[in-house]
A and B are shown apart, each in its own frame.
Chain A
Amino acid sequence: MPIGLKHFLIAYVLAWALFFGYLVNLALRQKSLADELRALKDRLSRPDRASGPQG
């Protein structure tokens, strides 16, 4: 194995794992917020909402 090949591969793998890991993290955070938004919009659009918050 050429000198430094291991370091070269680790550098590229770690850097790309960081970039894609962050992209996936953003997508998961967006999905979680979108789910919350959808649930809240559903709750607000229900006709029985006029009776006010329960419990």
Chain B
Amino acid sequence: MNSARDPVAVLLAGLSFIILVVGFHYSFLRAPTEASMAMVEPVQRIFYLHLPSAFVSFLGFFTVFVASIAYLMTRNIRWDWLAVSAAEVGVVFCAAVLITGPLWAKPVWGIWWTWDARLTTTLILFLIYLGYLMLRVYVIEAHRRALLAAVVGILGFVDVPIVYMANRWWRTQHPQPVIAGGESSGLDPRMWWGVLGVFAGLFLLAALLVRQRYRLEEMRAELIALEREARV
């Protein structure tokens, strides 16, 4: 199905665009400058893309986790299609986190990268799901591939809560949490509108990407079935 003729894809794309425009309007024009970063004012606005991208990648990997369990319980290959679609989209958003983070860090910390707990566990998370996608390339038989991938998808998810808790459990160079981080944490409400708006827009964009990637798996399965028919 061509996405231009798919009303759900058009709706997701349109809503995502509108909500992102509103979200970035709040992020760039309404939200105040973070008190400690007045000297590097534009850089702190990277936060409005970095944090929502991280949340969306976590949701992607959570979808892999749930779909992998569902596949192991039902052996329905459609769960595997959902898992691989969410994994690929999760990796794209995790890559965005790993790109925007160092670009924020260089002017603020003076270094691109440091091996602190939050940064290291995020890099490991990215590599786990990159490995998940590479594993799938090397296993030909569909159900064997789905089984192995489901195991990796479930075990790999263990790193998500570790990434989330890393700057709560350990002292890190990464800024302290803004959500559930104790009495001194939190954001100005005007900043929240920016974060939530961009998160909602990116979430819809991710839903569109997962839908299009899932469609690819459907088409591939249809092609394999037709090729079998052609050989008979």
Chain A positions within 8 Å of B, measured between CB atoms, are 2-5, 7-8, 10-12, 14-15, 18-19, 22-23, 26-27, 29-30, 33-34, 36-37, 40-41, 43-44, 53
State whether A41 touches B226 (Cβ < 8 A): yes
Nearest chain A residue, comparing its CB with the CB of B92: A22
Docked CA distance A39–B49 (Å): 42
State whether A4 touches B42 (Cβ < 8 A): yes
From B45, B215, B229, A8 is in contact (CB under 8 Å) with B45
Given contacts A11-B104, A19-B96, A30-B216, contact A40 B230 (CB under 8 A): yes
State whether B226 touches A37 (Cβ < 8 A): yes
Size range of the interface on B? 35 or more
Chain B positions within 8 Å of A, measured between CB atoms, are 2-3, 39-43, 45-46, 49-50, 53, 89, 92, 95-96, 99-100, 103-104, 106-108, 205, 208-209, 212-213, 215-216, 219-220, 222-223, 226-227, 229-231
Given contacts A40-B226, A41-B226, list 12 more A-B pairs with CB under 8 A: A2-B42, A3-B39, A3-B43, A10-B103, A14-B100, A18-B95, A18-B99, A22-B89, A22-B92, A30-B219, A33-B219, A44-B229
A-B Cβ contacts below 8 A, count: 94
Docked CA distance A12–B219 (Å): 33
State whether A15 touches B96 (Cβ < 8 A): yes
Chain B binding surface, main DSSP class:
helix
Docked CA distance A7–B42 (Å): 9
- Across-interface contacts of A26 in B (CB, < 8 A): 209, 212-213, 216
- Across-interface contacts of A43 in B (CB, < 8 A): 230
